[in-house]
Amino acid sequence: MSKKSGPAKIFTALALLFTAAVLLFFSFSVRFSSFRRDLFGREAMGEPVLEVTFLYVGQGDAVVIRELGGRGRVMLIDTGPNAAADEFAAAVPVKGSTYAATTIIPYLEEKGVERIDYLVLTHKHGDHIGGVPYILRNFDVGAVYDNGTEYPSPYTEEYLKAVRETGVDFRVARTGDTLPFGENITAQFIGPLRRYQGTLYSDENCNSIVTRVVAGDISFIVAGDMEIAAELDLMAYGEDLRTTVLMAPHHGSHSSSSRPFLNYVRPEVGVFSAGRNNRYSLPAYEVIRRYEDMGAAVYRTDMNGNITIVTDGRGYRVSTEIGGLN
Ligand SMILES: [Zn+2]
């Protein structure tokens, strides 16, 4: 057995160290790259202050807006469909249940959220208010914000019944109102700018509450099923509505995301919420193209599952449950 000389020992030690470093590097880069694949965003991410998650709730909408740190305020915009409203979608939730039970509340609990400060219901179609009764009866809700329309339907009836029974604070959202959120976060109702009359399906869509949340340089617009008439009205808002992230109104339907409106808000990211193999064939291919044509990154809940965007007010980062950019 030969005794190693001093330099040989050092060499062995260095070789071991090098091997360890290489192994460590690869294990990190493998982990990092598999994570990175799902990432898109502006650089310069510091401590995140706001997290916005577009949950996969079948053919419907549910968006969780959460202050990170501070008082941890939480806004939920829409509650997904109930089972009946989603019966024609491929993925039907547990019979007799709703995505509120299978997805929204479990998600909030996983995040340690104990209270929804603001439950904003953009409008009274089943794919947006279907989960309200379950949420009001099973979770702590600070206040419900309604668009103030009369829109009689079994969903409206069920929703208002749950409001009465639980005695939750019920308010009609007024355009221009600002809701208290984090220190450097503004949450404001910026639409609708007028009342679209009648009981037509499209009128109720146009009466969707439009919420804009701004954290520093990064902004989000969630507008329910707003259609082109409401979009064009918003353009007369007289304020710079440039936005970082736009949730494609009306699940990416032809009725919405008009080119003039997109040119006005110039989204960097377009998020589409739709059910897998839904019967309406949403989002419309042509509408997705409008976002892509202007260089926006496109994400869709039917393909990406839950989509989460975090921001520090200067940069932002998008991560998805499934896959990356489309
Ligand atoms: Zn809808």
pLDDT at 41: 65
Residue 94 within any structural domain of the chain: yes
The C-alpha atoms of residue 83 and residue 94 are separated, in whole angstroms, by: 8
Residue 269 within any structural domain of the chain: yes
Residue 26 within any structural domain of the chain: no
**Which CATH number do you get for residue 214?**
3.60.15.10
Distance 208 CA to ligand 1 centre (A): 10
Strand, helix or coil for residue 247: strand
Q: Which long-range contacts (CB under 8 A, 24 or more apart) does 104-108 make?
A: 104/55, 104/57, 104/62, 104/64, 104/76, 104/79, 104/80, 104/131, 104/135, 105/134, 105/135, 105/138, 105/139, 107/53, 107/55, 107/64, 107/306, 108/64, 108/74, 108/76, 108/139
Tell me the per-residue pLDDT of 206-258, one tens digit each, with 9 for 90 and over: 999 999 999 999 999 999 999 999 999 999 876 689 999 999 999 999 999 99
CA 307, chain centre distance (Å): 7
Tell me the per-residue pLDDT of 44-78, one tens digit each, with 9 for 90 and over: 578 899 999 999 999 999 999 999 989 999 999 99
Tell me the per-residue pLDDT of 158-186, one tens digit each, with 9 for 90 and over: 999 999 999 999 999 999 999 999 888 99
Residue 294 within any structural domain of the chain: yes
pLDDT at 45: 75
Tell me the per-residue pLDDT of 287-300, one tens digit each, with 9 for 90 and over: 999 999 999 999 99
pLDDT at 93: 46
Regarding beta strands 115-120 and 185-191, do their DSSP bridges make them parallel or antiparallel, or are they unpaired? unpaired
Residue 209 within any structural domain of the chain: yes
The C-alpha atoms of residue 63 and residue 57 are separated, in whole angstroms, by: 10
Tell me the per-residue pLDDT of 81-123, one tens digit each, with 9 for 90 and over: 876 555 544 444 444 568 999 999 999 999 999 999 999 999 9
Total number of domains in the chain = 1
Distance 118 CA to ligand 1 centre (A): 20
Distance 59 CA to ligand 1 centre (A): 7
pLDDT at 97: 66
Distance 60 CA to ligand 1 centre (A): 5
Residue 326 within any structural domain of the chain: no
Distance 61 CA to ligand 1 centre (A): 7
Residue 205 within any structural domain of the chain: yes
- What is the mean predicted confidence (pLDDT) over 267-281? 92
pLDDT at 42: 64
Distance 126 CA to ligand 1 centre (A): 8
Residue 259 within any structural domain of the chain: yes
The domain in which residue 181 lies consists of 47-320
Distance 251 CA to ligand 1 centre (A): 6
